[in-house]
């Protein structure tokens, strides 16, 4: 075969090869202030440390603070993208462990109010990112808003963060219920700010129990993170706690959560893919 023919054959083969797709993950909570952003950043850093290509996107409505927690002053936020002045890849900043991130500043409500042209642009950009990364992690706003629920139905998996407080658990259940009643979705649970490991197990068992009993669905416990001053100190120092005090109880707990997450992947509930589901959600709006 001539070199050219060989090259053409290779090209054709490549175009049929399945392009790996990023796993899309939403970090969510019923109640605000439970530690979502801190867990989103530190969990992303731990995946990145294990050589995963990770993009963290701040989608918290009006309260984006990923860049503050990372101690940087992001040049762009997701709203610049909506104005179509920049592409996704212009906006991405790189943090520690080669973690890529896009800062917040505005949120999900804006995406749902975009006109068709801007929306197409946004989805095209996300489509590129899905082909580039191993994981795309969205730090979401708290609470059961229509937009959050719709977005949660599009991602591959949700990681729900709750504290042991009864109000946090009730709000967590209410959020899971809203999503699962509309679409089968993979849910993981992290209990944050526990007194000890036993309390973490009790809280996640309680949540798993009610979801099984009333919704007849399974959710996956990932473990718990203790209430630890190291987290507060890290927030003040504007450094992620797994880097600020990597030997702290909180950092070690999240290490084992990240390890378990990678070692025990859940079966996808729907194989149609994030981008296709997202498009469907936007067109059905």
Ligand X SMILES: Nc1ncnc2c1ncn2[C@@H]1O[C@H](COP(=O)(O)OP(=O)(O)O)[C@@H](O)[C@H]1O
Q: Which stretch binds Mg ion (CB under 5 A): 53-61, 67-75, 111-119, 166-174?
A: 53-61
Least distance to ligand X from the beta carbon of 210, Å? 21
DSSP annotation of 268 = P
User: For Mg ion, which is the closer residue by CB, 24 or 38?
Assistant: 38
For residue 24, the cross-strand partners are 136
Phi, then psi, of 190 in degrees rounded to 5 = -120, 125
31 or 36: whose CB is closer to Mg ion?
36
CB atoms within 10 A of CB 209: 10
168 binds Mg ion (CB under 5 A): no
Binding site for ligand X (CB under 6 A): 29, 32-38, 192-193, 225, 227-228, 231-232, 235, 250
Contact partner, 193, from ligand X, Mg ion, none, Cβ < 5-8 Å per class: ligand X
Which option in Mg ion, ligand X, none does residue 111 bind, with CB closer than 5 to 8 A by kind? none
* CB 96 within 8 Å of CB 242: no
Minimum gap (Å) between residue 220 Cβ and ligand X: 20
Residue 144: count other Cβ atoms within 10 Å of its Cβ: 16
Give which of ligand X, Mg ion, none residue 235 binds (C-beta under 5 to 8 Å, depending on kind). Answer: ligand X
Report the partner that residue 192 touches, choosing among Mg ion, ligand X, none (CB closer than 5 to 8 A by kind): ligand X
- For residues 7 and 22, give the distance between their C-alpha atoms in angstroms, rounded to a whole number: 28
The b-or-e profile of 210-239 (16+ CB within 10 A means b, else e) is bbeeeeebebbbbbbbbbbebbeebbeeeb
Contact partners, residue 232, CB within 8 Å, separation at least 6: none
CB of 124 to ligand X, least distance (A): 29
Q: 57-68: b or e for each residue (b if 16 or more CB lie within 10 Å)?
A: bbbbbeebbbbb
Residue of this chain nearest to Mg ion (CB atom): 37
Q: Whole-number minimum distance, CB 4 to Mg ion, in Å?
A: 54
Nearer to Mg ion, 37 or 42 (CB): 37
Least distance in angstroms from the C-beta of 60 to ligand X: 7
In the set 23, 26, 28, 37, which binds Mg ion (CB under 5 A)?
37
**Cβ 276 to ligand X shortest distance, Å:** 29
Count interface residues toward Mg ion (CB under 5 A). 3
Distance CA 160, CA 140 (A): 10
Q: Give the Cα separation of 72 and 53 in Å (integer).
A: 20
Q: Which residues bind Mg ion (CB under 5 A)?
A: 36-37, 60
């Amino acid at each position: 075969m001539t070199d050219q023919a060989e090259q053409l054959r290779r090209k054709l083969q490549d175009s049929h090869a399945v392009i790996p797709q990023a796993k899309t993950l939403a970090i969510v909570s019923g109640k605000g202030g439970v530690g979502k952003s801190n867990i989103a950043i530190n969990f992303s850093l731990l995946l990145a440390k294990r050589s995963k290509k990770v993009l963290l996107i701040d989608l918290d409505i009006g309260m984006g603070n990923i860049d503050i927690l990372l101690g940087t002053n992001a040049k762009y936020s997701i709203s610049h993208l909506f104005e179509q002045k920049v592409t996704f890849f212009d906006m991405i900043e790189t943090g520690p462990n080669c973690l890529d991130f896009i800062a917040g500043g505005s949120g999900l409500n804006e995406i749902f109010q975009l006109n068709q042209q801007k929306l197409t642009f946004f989805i095209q950009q996300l489509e590129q990112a899905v082909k580039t990364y191993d994981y795309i992690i969205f730090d979401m706003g708290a609470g059961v808003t229509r937009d959050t629920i719709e977005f949660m139905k599009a991602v591959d998996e949700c990681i729900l963060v709750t504290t042991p407080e009864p109000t946090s658990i009730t709000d967590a259940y209410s959020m899971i219920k809203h999503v699962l009643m509309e679409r089968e979705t993979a849910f993981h649970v992290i209990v944050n700010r526990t007194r000890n490991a036993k309390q973490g197990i009790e809280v996640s068992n309680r949540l798993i129990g009610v979801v099984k009993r009333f919704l007849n669905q399974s959710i996956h416990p990932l473990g718990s993170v203790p209430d630890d001053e190291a987290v507060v100190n890290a927030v003040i120092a504007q450094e992620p706690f797994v880097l600020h005090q990597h030997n702290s109880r909180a950092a070690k707990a999240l290490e084992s959560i990240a390890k378990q997450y990678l070692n025990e992947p859940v079966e996808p509930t729907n194989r149609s893919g994030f981008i296709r589901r997202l498009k469907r959600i936007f067109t059905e709006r």
